[in-house]
């Protein structure tokens, strides 16, 4: 979500959005790096699914 917001802000500011006048380009690069470091979306979804499935199984027994 942060990437979308920063991208929209860069779009609003046009060419100056990626200049040194604003910190938007740096913020976008930082958020993108965090997204890559965190791993693919599929891996996170699978991890969440395992946790939720285990929680469901505990409530059923």
| Two structure tokens written together for 48 | 């969440």
* Percent over 70 (pLDDT), the chain: 98
Find out whether 21 and 14 touch, Cβ atoms under 8 Å: no
Find out whether 38 and 29 touch, Cβ atoms under 8 Å: no
User: Per-residue confidence at 18, pLDDT binned at 50, 70, 90?
Assistant: confident
**Is the overall model pTM greater than 0.85, yes or no?**
no
Distance of alpha carbon 47 from alpha carbon 3, whole angstroms: 22
Domains and CATH numbers, the chain: 1-60 (1.20.140.10)
9, 27, 49, 58 from 53: Cα distances, Å: 38, 35, 6, 9
Whole-number mean pLDDT of the chain?
Answer: 87
Distance of alpha carbon 61 from alpha carbon 53, whole angstroms: 13
């Amino acid at each position: 979500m942060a990437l979308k917001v920063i991208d929209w802000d860069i779009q609003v500011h046009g060419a100056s959005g990626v200049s040194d006048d604003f910190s938007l380009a740096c913020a976008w690069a930082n958020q993108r790096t965090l997204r890559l470091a965190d791993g693919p979306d599929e891996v996170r979804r699978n991890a969440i699914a395992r946790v939720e499935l285990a929680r469901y199984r505990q409530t059923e027994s």
